[in-house]
Amino acid sequence: MGLFNRKKKKKNSRDILITSVNPKSPISEQYRIIRTNIEFSGVDKEIKTIVCTSANPAEGKSTTIANLAVTFAQQGKKTLYVDSDLRKPSGHHIFGVENLQGLTTILTRKKEFKKTIQKTVEENLFVLSSGPIPPNPSELLGSNAMKDFIAEASQNFDMIVFDTPPVLAVADATILGRQVDGTLIVTKSHSTEKEQLANAKKLLEQTKNNIIGAVINGRSQKDMTYQYYYGNN
């Protein structure tokens, strides 16, 4: 599968969404384990809304949260994947949907929520693409319109996952993370430096994000490609 192909070629959705195209694979099972760990991390409060970020670009956050969204949907939960990376969106490519409208058109009151989400081939899974890239991503994500969107989406879905930009690059993830139940950090084996991860964790904690765990990816298939660690470890 494409996740283990080291050749430099553009991945398509079949490469990325392994939980959908090959749900019985060992990698898909690792995603289900991560899903279970996330569910059990909500001791005092059910985890229904999750922000996914990373310290740096190209560490696998979009692949991780897209596959987790699939596993939540496969569990029977009505799930919404939201591409809230309003600077370099990729969700529409991953799921093969249009991006003429999306989160930004909702936040600027140009489109209604229910008319903007798109169905996927996976039962129970819906996608909200980013929409046109705005000049003020951070302001939009911290707006009252964003709070209204999360409230409305929470009434219509069992699980909502947000893909956000790297936390060390811009403030978007920390801003949005304060508004959801938990934040998941994705790191890449032999790539993310310990100091970078520590700085990302510190930023999230300083901005009152509830870190529910970290996923380490990019390891060899033999060594388990994905591992999950609770945020307080």
Residues above pLDDT 70, as percent of the chain: 86
CATH number for the region 26-229 comes to: 3.40.50.300
Convert the pLDDT of each residue in 156-166 to its tens digit: 999 999 999 99
Tokens 């939980």 appear where? 19
The beta strands (E) that lie in the chain are given as 49-54, 79-83, 118-119, 125-128, 159-163, 182-188, 211-217, 227-229
Domain ranges (residues) in the chain: 26-229
Convert the pLDDT of each residue in 164-191 to its tens digit: 999 999 999 999 999 999 999 999 887 8
The helix or strand, by DSSP H or E, that contains position 18, with its residue range, turns out to be helix 18-21
pLDDT at 11: 53
Convert the pLDDT of each residue in 83-117 to its tens digit: 999 999 999 999 999 999 999 999 998 888 889 99
C-beta separation of 153 from 80 below 8 A: yes
Convert the pLDDT of each residue in 201-212 to its tens digit: 999 999 999 999
pLDDT at 76: 97
pLDDT at 106: 96
